[in-house]
Structure 1
Amino acid sequence: MSNKLTKVENPVLIVEGKQADNERLKAESDFLRGTILEDLQDRMTGGFTADNFQLIRTHGMYQQDDRDIRAERQKQKLEPLHNVMLRARLPGGIISTDQWLAIDKFADEYTSYGSIRLTTRQTFQFHGVLKPNIKLMHQTLNSVGLDSIATAGDVNRNVLCTSNPVESELHQEAYEWAIKLSEHLLPKTRAYAEIWLDEERVETTEGEEVEPILGSNYLPRKFKTTVVIPPNNDIDVHANDLNFVAISENGKLIGFNVLVGGGLAMTHGDNSTYPRCADDFGFIPKEKALDVAAAVVTTQRDWGNRVNRKNAKTKYTLDRVGADAFRAEVEERAGVKFEDSRPYEFTHRGDSFGWVAGIDGKEHLTLFIENGRILDLDGVPTGNKALKTGMLEIAKIHKGDFRLTANQNLIVAGVAPEDKATIEKIAREHGLISDKVSNQRMSSMACVAFPTCPLAMAEAERYLPGLVDDVEAILEKNNLKDESIILRVTGCPNGCGRAMLAEIGLVGKGPGKYNMYLGSDLAGSRVPKLYKENVDEAMILSEIDALTARWSAERNDNEAFGDFVIRAGIVEQVIVSFRDFHHA
């Protein structure tokens, strides 16, 4: 799939028409304050009302309810059991053990599910926090140096960074750039501190520019940024608006190749929406990274579609105005000329599980956390089910830090050799390490979906473990026991589980029904194609069985499943334009 920059004849830089209501909402929000404080004091409802339902997203929260009991509560003439999900801001995914102890305690005492959820955005989420505990939640985070500013809404969200534990010096510098990018692109309004931390408001002076990068109406749509260290594309660069691919010489970071315009979300039945891989704009020295980031964001701010939110992401702006015009605008705003991209290659995705030695003499243990859900199953911390208790015990003694990965896993990083045996013993005793976990299970991922996500059309997190059981049996039957397929399930087409960069991607269409996509590659640079539409779980297994039988019998040496289905003509590879995704 080519990422060659495109030209558009007579590009439309600004989309004219009646703006989406979210634009009114942001303009009238008093820089994201709204009337959230008043809503917090309203005990007649467990939820947030009117515009505040949307505004709390820019403070890192989504209002949800338990959909498993929604119908029963309606029968009882009760409103849905409103609560919020909070997503923390954790650029690069690094968290200290003291911070972990604090979030573990809060999850135990103040969330409905008692769990810590690791996400594909390389951070953690609390689920099921009731209104009386929301302010305490933010103050708890603040007390250990954390927050949830701009982890949702029309802003730049949590900045990802490769979790690479081996090249420690290069990773440290890349991680520091992830922090700088996060801070540079944050909203500058003090709304978060005033509402949740009781900071006194200081009025702005006349003519003072509150949001020099994001603007008074913020961005047209959500925006995602990453820093990645080849050869491991463990953060899926092509799923994001802005990506900095680290280029090094002699182990030292010298600059970045900049990729712009990736995104996976689409809408069922709307062919104007589609997944898209990012375009490579070229190389910049590292000193220009913040200027280029601001230029990309402000160009999208000014040119993005504020009329139709379904076409408001950066990927649609690039296709409307042409990637070459967008790049030229970025160059002008940043005062830089992109050089030719420096050579790099992504050879794999995902995480390397088990112990890995770093160049600093420290050891790093990557733990597989199925679906990212850290919980003592059944609420009983016994046997091999006590994942949450196990992490708590490790946090009490670990002298390094934890690194959350963009694949919902966790690295116990910076372990001194003399502590290695003790930490492994705790991990094994609590089920955080199991020799029975297959390659297939470690290559599979799902979004949250039911019962909490209001957008879910089908199961994902709760469906995946059993699905993997069945796929493992199919692979063994077809003499592929030690092989794996990048398998991802999402409850809707909004892209949270990155199914549209999977070798097999299942996208929820309705209860028990999914669209089945095939054909991404191991590097994560190819969008899969629709293979079967609206299929049930039995048909999914039947198709996987038939396809893996062919893969086993017809594959070339070490040929990955995604490459095989394209070479065999099961799905087509070539997408001339991502806008033709639904037809190619």
Structure 2
Amino acid sequence: MVKSAPLPIASRKPSKVEAIKERSNFLREPVATEILQDTTHFSEDAVQILKFHGSYQQDNRDNRVKGQEKDYQFMLRTKNPGGFVPPQLYLALDKLADEYGNHTLRATTRQGFQLHGILKKNLKAAIASIVTNMGSTLGACGDLNRNVMAPPAPFKNSKEYQYAWEYAENVAELLTPQTGAYYEIWLDGEKAISGEENPEVKAARERNGTGTIFHDKEEPIYGTYYMPRKFKVCVTVPGDNSIDLYSQDLTLVVITDNEGELAGFNVFAGGGLGRTHNKEETFARVADEICYVAKEDVYDMVKAIVATQRDYGDRTDRRHARLKYLIHDWGVDKFRAMVEEYFGKPLEPFKPLPQWKYEDFLGWHEQGDGKLFLGISIDNGRIKDEGDFQLKTALRQIVEQYNLPIRLTPHQNVILYDIAPENKQAIEETLNGYGVVTNIDSIDQIFRYSMACPALPTCGLAITESERAIPGILERIRALLNKVGLPNEHFVVRMTGCPNGCARPYMAELGFVGSAPESYQIWLGGSPDQTRLAKAYIDKLHHNDLETFLEPIFVYFKKSRKKGESFGDFCDRVGFDAIRKFTESYKSKLAKAANVGRHRITVRDDIYAVLKKTAQSQGKSMTDVVDEALKLYLKTE
């Protein structure tokens, strides 16, 4: 069935960004011209196109001085399908962080790396280095397919995981921009040496007949205008929700036959978490079950869904431009019917799946071929050297010495793999010697399962703190849980500095979403395995009021939970009306007097690092360690 042509773009009253994309000559201008200019920053139009090349122009708000030019710097984001980072690329990124960046690397929630603090004059050299060392930043940002995610665990004896990695790579290749702009601008037209393109993927990109591609465009799938907004894809295996599948625009789930061979994929579509405060027409949404597709048709299915969003997604209002809004407005049945037209044949019914489970794969594991892998917990994905904690140095030394590949996890952690068993002890000793914890039992699980976005000072959208605030917030939550008699309790806590939801707070059991300086909207009721949306409980909570707010909720949880029930499941089961009713009648039994303030002190960074390491080794909160140390020093009871 041939798809009828969509309405001309001119009749849709396109947004300003649509016009910028049209004038860009397939992502070339004005970036190609302005990168040659001796200035500290790009124009507004160039900034929009620069995103497609994998970079955001930022302003370090910590360094703002009234009357002076903004402290312009650039964030570079890599595209690593399935989180795969070869050793050569990791070492190049580590070097770039020191040579041009702020001496840190940050693992993202989409399994890539971010480099922060790069100056405009160094941007070209940084991108060229990434490309020549087996990496890419093309399509890591912008209105197109972003990094394709897959479970990070390198199980070499699992065909399902092998298929997930293979098809994550292939879908990423299928949807990679075809414009020559990237190599023209950053490598002076010289395309990096790489392996031959998968002929099956190449054929799928060129195959038409149902309206999915443009034959007369430099971009056969994206056309002149690319996508209405970003488009996020993941590939996973039944039961493995390490990739937060319900938050993706498109998810493929590997389905194997009785012999364990690949048969096809279940397809989910329509997830997305970005929203805007006080704009009820914007909302977080979980993906819907769409269909099953045989393996030989999977690329045509991906193209059909991409084309449906490309041609019918809202290009007039960028707040309403994601696939989730198209499916919400149309309904799933209409969406399926349109996908079927682009696909060219009837859709097959969705296959049964087991329950989803979240895994973070930390610690030591057998990978199935006689070798080992090690998942290393990284607070908020920030790889750095600070005080006695020298993670950046430790990872560089290990990757250099053992030539180990890395897989980044969707939880901002790092997995080192292909480790020979005889090297296990030496690697562990190296990490421990640099203050890096490898014993996962010593990691407080409140910290282990938390995530935060970078937010201030570099993100231009941040309303308040996130990465810099969450360690203290988690310490206070742990101290409060201890005080109400829940010392071993843990749940998924996520924090963002604005409502865009980059750390996926709307799927958390307890979510903090920046709503004003030092204040957060609080979301409750997501599931431990990230299969259910949380709901907004309160619009603005100042961080100073955290204990007063959470204490009655935790007490109610302790008093009324079912056996083994998680905090998120409890909040969802009893409902907000019951929680509010209990809270209103609750009288604090912990405060020694009414209106007692929370006293705060500040410690140096080196003392903080030692304090944290001590607390982890003793399985205590930092608050408790400080309390004991001060009592001993002051000789008080």
TM-score by length of 2: 0.83
* Cα pair 2:496 2:513 within 8 Å, conserved: yes
Distance 1:480 1:17 in 2: 55
CA deviation after TM superposition for structure 1 residue 275, in Å: 0.5
* Cα pair 1:448 1:461 within 8 Å, conserved: yes
Distance 2:566 2:402 in 1: 38
What's the CA shift string for 1:22-76, capped at 9, x where partnerless?
1111111100111212212222x31101310111000000000111111x2x3xx
CA deviation after TM superposition for structure 1 residue 434, in Å: 5.2
SS in 2 for 1:305: coil
What's the CA shift string for 1:225-274, capped at 9, x where partnerless?
00112322111111111111122345443221100010001111111100
Residue equivalent to 2:42? 48
CA deviation after TM superposition for structure 1 residue 338, in Å: 2.8
SS in 1 for 2:96: helix
Across the aligned residues of Structure 1 and Structure 2, the Cα RMSD in angstroms comes to: 2.1
Residue equivalent to 2:394? 390
CA deviation after TM superposition for structure 1 residue 170, in Å: 2.4
Q: Does 1:559 align with 2:565?
A: yes
Residue equivalent to 2:148? 159
Residue equivalent to 1:457? 463
Residue equivalent to 2:19? 24
Residue equivalent to 2:30? 35
SS in 2 for 1:51: helix
Distance 2:379 2:468 in 1: 11
SS in 2 for 1:420: helix
SS in 2 for 1:68: helix
Q: Does 1:242 align with 2:250?
A: yes
CA deviation after TM superposition for structure 1 residue 282, in Å: 1.7
Distance 2:369 2:347 in 1: 34
* Cα pair 2:161 2:236 within 8 Å, conserved: no
Residue equivalent to 2:618? none
Identical aligned residues as a percent:
39
* Cα pair 2:82 2:149 within 8 Å, conserved: yes
* Cα pair 2:107 2:408 within 8 Å, conserved: yes
Distance 2:282 2:28 in 1: 31
CA deviation after TM superposition for structure 1 residue 15, in Å: 11
What's the CA shift string for 1:298-328, capped at 9, x where partnerless?
1100001011111010011112222212212
SS in 1 for 2:576: coil
* Cα pair 2:356 2:531 within 8 Å, conserved: no
Residue equivalent to 2:428? 424
SS in 2 for 1:426: helix
* Cα pair 1:13 1:303 within 8 Å, conserved: no
Select which of 221, 224, 240 maps to 1:232.
240
Indicate the structure (1 or 2) with the bigger Cα radius of gyration. 2
AA of the residue aligned to 1:146: G
Residue equivalent to 2:375? 366
Residue equivalent to 2:126? 137
SS in 2 for 1:160: coil
Stretches of structure 1 that go unaligned for 5 or more consecutive residues are 1-11, 574-584
Single out whichever of 344-353 and 564-573 deviates more from structure 2: 564-573
| Structure with the larger RCO, 1 or 2 (CA within 8 Å, 6+ apart) | 1
Distance 1:308 1:489 in 2: 26
Pairing 1:301-450 to 2, within 5 Å after superposition: 301-377=310-386, 383=388, 385-433=389-437, 435=439, 436-450=442-456
SS in 2 for 1:441: helix
Residue equivalent to 1:5? none
Residue equivalent to 2:477? 471
Q: Does 1:285 align with 2:294?
A: yes
AA of the residue aligned to 1:535: L
Stretches of structure 2 that go unaligned for 5 or more consecutive residues are 1-6, 192-213, 580-637
CA shift in 2, pair 1:49/1:466, >3 Å:
same
CA shift in 2, pair 1:95/1:336, >3 Å:
farther
AA of the residue aligned to 1:84: F
CA deviation after TM superposition for structure 1 residue 427, in Å: 1.7
What's the CA shift string for 1:465-504, capped at 9, x where partnerless?
1111111112222333333111000000011010011011
Aligned length: 547
Residue equivalent to 2:117? 128
Q: Does 1:91 align with 2:74?
A: no
Distance 2:273 2:364 in 1: 32
AA of the residue aligned to 2:436: L
AA of the residue aligned to 1:318: I
SS in 2 for 1:532: strand
Distance 1:429 1:336 in 2: 59
Single out whichever of 30-39 and 452-461 deviates more from structure 2: 30-39
CA deviation after TM superposition for structure 1 residue 102, in Å: 1.1
SS in 2 for 1:403: strand
